[in-house]
Structure 1
Amino acid sequence: MWKRIHSNRDPRDTLYSEIHKEFAAYFLIAGNAGKRLAAAYPKFLFGCMILLMAMSLVLSFTVFRHPEKTNMTATQKVNPVADGFDQIIQVTGNIRETIRLKKLVDSLTAKKLLTVRDSTLLDSALDRLSRINKKARAKN
């Protein structure tokens, strides 16, 4: 078992009182020097104090200003059921459009000779199919 240690210290002894006992002479010298300086140059110290407050005011409104973040992220309500249904509806729409475009491409490629309108239609259908395919790959 642990052995109990009995401390016989005076409860009035604190860290502050011990530091004060040790360095009281130095604190007294610094206090007296401060009083003499304030008594000798009161207007100068007052001017320095006003100058420092003015500098603090200027710096707080210029250099140390932290602008608020403009790109705040908006919290969205998360509803997994609605999100799931939205994804199902979107995928279903993409599949329907893919089937429609595939039929269009098959009918146009079956022709022997394409008109300008047919070739433009074929080009736009193939472009749309590639965009749908890229979207599907990006989500996975």
Structure 2
Amino acid sequence: MSALNKRHFEQRQSASARSTLLDAAREVGLDVAAAVAFLDSRELEDVVWKSYGQTIYEKKIHSIPLFALSVPSIGAVGGPFRPPGKHEAYVVRGSMDEEYFFKLFQVILRDHQAGERIYDERSQPYRLDEWRSSAPGRGTCST
């Protein structure tokens, strides 16, 4: 996974491209011929699709990509794979442009400097952490 992640996130090679998968396999010493044979087969296809379907259903993921940014220093923690904190995580659903993320990072910086998550009009676009309300004993934060 480390070799594949490095190619995908650092070298901008698609993790779904056959050449990327085989290069990563080669790098870590896996049997490349066996990897080619596996990729040419449909072995485990049903397992992968079942797992994918269960994960997006169970974790309530409705858009790809999904970003749930946690800032533990102010208790803003959450998302589909983390237990909730005192405050909601900052959530971005779907593809957004640089300006959207720039504004999000400005809100996170402001909140970090304030020492708490501030719920106001500026933070509203980043408040869709429904996993907070689904955790036992947790409700959504008020505005």
- For normalisation by structure 2, the TM-score amounts to 0.22
The answer to which structure, 1 or 2, has the higher relative contact order (CA under 8 A, 6+ apart) is: 2
* Larger Rg belongs to: 1
- For normalisation by structure 1, the TM-score amounts to 0.22
Please state which structure has a larger fraction of its residues in helix. Answer: 1
